[in-house]
Chain A
């Protein structure tokens, strides 16, 4: 069973602070995605990384895929109250019938003004 361990589970910070969320596994993933979800909505894709060592930036968000494609991190610089939400990492696994995603436990981020 492939597991994706995500930490921390909960993060409460002041506006302007930086933070990092981690996802780790002993399994190799074909891709790694990060999603953000707000209450009452489905998760929304932020980024997909597919190459070991890949780094992607999306404004104040920086995503990194580990060299061995087993881990990833999400770093937010100068957090804003609008960043509040549930952040989920998900690893892509090739199956006989196609691909499926394994999700981390999620990180609830609260940014206070």
Chain B
């Protein structure tokens, strides 16, 4: 299984600012994903980070708000732009294993004040 390092682990940000979350995998993975999760609740897929092309966003999520980069097969970033308190959540990145199973980073707990 891949090991995924995500940073920062938590942050408190002012509304109107942007935060970039980094995700590093210790081996090459074809697919990387970004999720959002409220504490104690399920995961909602934001987008699939595609290497060498634009990310594929799920319904309700747009590139202007959540720009994603994937410069290579081991690294991706998610930016939460122009933040509001409603963006307070846990953000998780994952890499895909051979049978579509996901390996997750420890998450970034974001609080917007």
Contact = CB atoms under 8 A, between A and B. Distances in A.
Main secondary structure of the interface of A (DSSP, over half): strand
Of the listed residues B30, B97, B99, the one surrounded by the most CB atoms of chain A closer than 10 A to its CB is B99
Contact of B102 (A43, A98, A104): A43
Interface string A62-106: 000000000000000000000000101010100001111111111
A101 B107 contact: no
B106 A41 contact: yes
Nearest to A104: B42
Interface in A39-62: 39-45, 48, 50
A28 interface: no
Given A50-B99, A92-B100, A103 B43 contact: yes
B50 interface: yes
B103 A99 contact: no
Contacts of A44: 104
B40 A108 contact: yes
Q: What class of interface size applies to chain A in its complex with B?
A: 20 to 34
A9 B23 CA distance: 30
Interface in B35-60: 39-45, 48, 50, 56
B100 A97 contact: no
A42 B31 contact: no
B43 A88 contact: yes
A43 B40 contact: no
B92 A33 contact: no
A27 interface: no
Contact of B48 (A48, A97, A103): A97
Given A33-B101, A101-B100, A42 B50 contact: no
Pairs of residues from A and B, 9 with the lowest C-beta to C-beta distance, nearest first? A42-B104, A92-B100, A99-B100, A106-B42, A103-B43, A48-B101, A103-B42, A105-B42, A48-B99
Interface of A: 6, 30-31, 33, 35, 39-45, 48, 50, 86, 88, 90, 92, 97-106, 108
